[in-house]
Structure 1
Amino acid sequence: MAAEDLEWERSKISNQDMNLLKKLGFTKKENALRFPKEESYPSPPIKYRVSFVDHLIRGLSPPIHEFLRGLLFVYGLQLHQLTPNSILHVSIFITLCECFLRVHPNWALWKRIFCLRRNGSHNVAYNIGGVVICVRPDVEYFDVKFPDSVQGWRKRWLYVHEESSDSVEYNIAPFDGGAKIICRRSWDTEAIEEERKATEALMSRIHELQNTRGKELSGIQITAYFLRIRVQPLQARKNPLWMYASEEDVDRLSKDLPVKDLEKLIRRISSLSKKDTIPSSCRVEPYSGTNALPENHPVLTSLPPLTEGGEVEEWTVVTDDNQGTSRPESEVVGSEKSAASSEKEVDSEATASTHSLPSAVSPGNKRKRDEKSPILAPPKPAHLLPKKLVLLKKPLMKEFIRLGTQFVGYRDHAKKLEANLAEANKRADSLALKLEQSEKARKKVEADAAAVEDLRKRLHDAETSLSDNIAEQSAREKEILSRLQSQSRRFVRKTQQDYDLENPEGDRLLDALSLLEIHGDEAREGLAEARTGLSWIFPYFFTKKEEPTTFTALAKCFNSQEDLGLKLRQEGLKVGVEGTITLVADSQQDVDWARVGDTKELETKRWQSLIKAAKPNSKKILAYLGCKPTPTPSSSKSEVK
């Protein structure tokens, strides 16, 4: 297996990813997706291409939009060589053009904003995701808030069904997992002067969308918009996004996502945390079926052009080290502008040095001059030529002369390269100084911006809190007024008098109502406590009776003519007597129970003395019987009848 193939391994798509793709509507169309089985290297079926879950959730969907097809062809790339954040860049650009600039995706505008760079780390060039789309260093563009790292995205690959186009050049190239990435001239092609003039109004509109106070548009708002309307920007659609027809739109993949799922998806593809708020709408209303384009609005169309013969010219590569950035999986984003700019200069110098060898060294040029030289006269015989000329005619001398001439040419070329290198070093030092100054200025601006943003946030929080307090106070006042009006109607029926709602001070009815409410609260608390107490003692007085559910019925149980306390003590005494009889019977002693039960013959003092004598052993008796003694209140009434 080639070295470039070592990055591929068995696809690991989780059930959570499968459920997400189902919610997003990718599985709605039959055979639109196919998931790998046991293969560790992609082998897509006919009419299928290799893509990734993280590409799909960032706006990609088959069949692929013609603008992305053109980009892949002009840049000489395969779909798997673009990083997820690069796919999101293209999605945001197409949505920006169609929804906010009122044009089709414009190739000239694209060249003014974006360029391509290699993605690698520690002298290792990636094959999967080896190319990064980034913002040019001199362009002010939307802050997209890309995540620092898209973990594990290379392992979540699958097959997507791709329809063929009428133009062969715009078809996605067949999958080649080991295709070598070559930096091409088209990667850094800038817009020409005519294209810059034609797109100047669009660039001005972008700056206006970014900097209009209170209506600032951000990359997160654009991303949230196309995820919310469920139309994939990178899909070949029947209608542009400015004709979006809400829930009836034919290009929608699924119904609206739940708010929780939408916010979770946006946080997954951006650097927003759980503490950051997700915009529920764009601050600038996008063009759609309900916000139509102005009449007679020109529709500009500019797709990536195809070169003659369908071929793309390549950079001349001197070493593999000058092909790109040294950023790992985290990808190169728009913030890495200075590094991208320096790479451009290095590539240009390497190309110039490779093609600017001196003319004295080129055998081809020498052959062309010999071919064009006219023959003025036939050569003289060797014996008629001077001795020096005879020596010059010898093959060895000719070789020496050729080497000497070549040496002179290389020496002059080396001196020229030294001069160019010295000039490049001066430029590098100057650029380093400017970079340091710009970095200081950037840090200062960021500090000022952070302070302003903090003040703005605190002001917003204060306004929100004040608004909430006003709303709560208003609701409370309405509730009080409603209550007073209700009480007023009640008292009008009873007393034929009304409240003075405008000026209630000194209103006797209102004062009486306040006292009534106070005493009513006290009565309610007393009833509640009484209900609790009666429920607590109910089982002691009524052991075989179920407790009533209402307080009135409960109170009637205790409103009996008999003395319930005496009854409880008598029952307790009865239990004690029965227990004593059981205890005596268990001792197997003969007892004259008739004599014991004849209380008429027993004097009261004698009875009291027997009870007093039994008290020290009462606990032992009860413990033997398995009873727990409970204190009973004393009573002046006799407990023996």
Structure 2
Amino acid sequence: MAGEDLEWERSKISNQDINLLKRLGMMKKEDAIRFPSEESYPNPPMEYRVSFVDHLIRGLSAPIHDFLRGLLFVYGIQLHQLTPNSILHVSIFITLCECFLGVPPNWALWKRIFCLRRNGSHNASYNIGGVVICVRSDVDYFDVKFPDSVQGWRKRWLYIHEESANSIEHNIAPFDGSAKIQRRCSWDAEASKKEKTSTEALMSRIHQLQNTRGKELSGVQITAYFLRIRVQPLQARKNPLWTYAGANDANRLSNDLSVKDLEKLIRRISSLNKKDPIPSSCRVEPYSSANPLPRTILLWLPFLLFLRMEKSKKGPLSRMTIRKLHLFDDEGEIRAVDAAPRTSTSHTLLASDTLVEGEESSPPQRNVVTTTPPSSPLAPSPKRARIEMIVEPAPQLGGSSTSILDDPMVKELIRIGSQFVGYREYANRTEEKLAEANKRADTLAQQLKQSEAARKKAELVASEAKAEADEARAKTARVKDLQKRLEDAETALNEHRAAQADREQGILKRLKSQSRRTQNQTNQEFDLENPDNDPLLDALSYLELHGAEIREGVANASAGLSALFPYFFPKKEEPPTFLTLAKSFNSSDDLGLKMRQENMKIAVESTVALVADSQQSVDWMKVGDTNQIEQSRWRSLIKVAKPNTKKILAYLGIKPASTPSSSRPEV
């Protein structure tokens, strides 16, 4: 597995990164974050997921927000496959929707603005950070000022503890490093015509936020805002950001950052340099508890269900009953009901008896009634239990002055009803897509069957064609080999003919030259026209025949004389030419006698050395005076020493000659 993911290596998180996470409140809980030890490939413990330091500082935290969880499900990707800039895109979008548009994160609006692209080049592709969220080219959106690249972010990975909120599973799929990135049609899915119509007011509001002179809103301002209030946009929260209550808000992770730390963090995740100013506040006041959302004439689905229960029990609803539901004020006018949704998957309806599915609250504009498509892609939760709706008798509303919105049962009905509508829409869409998929599957199966038969036929034809091609290639190779051999033979023959012609031309030239020389010396010419009976040509033929033997004999004689030269002339340098070398051996001196004398000299010296080695006392004066030694005495000494000659020579390291030498000493 690790061999396939070449980007994974041992995590390198510095103490500076750890201190930053502590200041941001990411490590408030003891088990919130675990750092890898020495492993070079992620192996998260149970209930932990793989994340990165640069993801956490851009708004990510556990439990994961429903909107991000839905994005991962619809796009078929994992969290580690998103780049840090893509994470920041989602954080800014959620903050924009909740704080400046006053709606939950809207899936149709997202599709109008963003799409997905592969991250990589022709030479390399990535698994870590292999997917990039991009703004569509035809959309006018905030200039976020992302950095061109985030250096070393892939090396700073860690484990975050996944949590559940309100008994609803918010966790993402378990880490799978071997999962390959596969492009889906949803990456480029555009908003439908109906979705574009329903989100037109939201897009107009975004353009108004961008272009209002003196109150322009930028992506850096939105980023600075959620970093300043210390709420992670990508964390599942009990309350949306439009209910932010300041320093006492339950969703805050830490206290306010110092101005220096905040500016340093903003410059780290953006392309702002030290000379660019950091916005201290947004030019547009975001929605919060201090700046509440405008109130619209929208009601929740559970209220309509309750109204229908009242109608089924008592007939047409009385004005008093509606007033008890706080739908009218004391003057009889329709009263605006706070329709702020609790979660990102809530759905809202108009105040009528007609049920409209798949719509939710409009942008926060006063006295404007519009509808928006589902707020987020609905990702099925593997652990979520099936909810059965049980209609209980209507509660006695009596004269209680408490709003029905504060009733715990009504709150639970709101939550169940919003989930029910979302899942029913998802189920209807899934059934339609499943029917289309089955139809396409049948068509594809038929096409596959036909293509399989065509494939087998094509394979048979291809095998026959391959056999024929192999046979043709073999024949071609043999023909080419024969052609090459023929060409080589022709070339050799031509070369032989050319050499023969050159040789004949040379012979003719030599004959003509010899003819001129012979004519000058003997007054006789070669008979070139009738060479068979020409004695001169016969003489030249014999001379040419024996010339080779003569050259070989001279070479052998030169080699032999060169081998003998050091023995006869040990103190002379060998002559360079054969003639000089031969003259060296033709001197008047007896070379054999000279060599024997040299050998005798060596033998005498060796004998003297031998006697000296035997440590015997010898009168060398008498030995040296040969005139005083009688010849008979000399011969007797040699005769006595002769049996021990071989031993003496062997001792001296001299190999005796195979031929007997003259016993006569040479003086």
Q: TM-score, normalised by structure 1?
A: 0.48
Q: Which has the higher contact order (CA 8 A, sep 6+)?
A: 1
Please say which structure displays the higher CA radius of gyration: 2
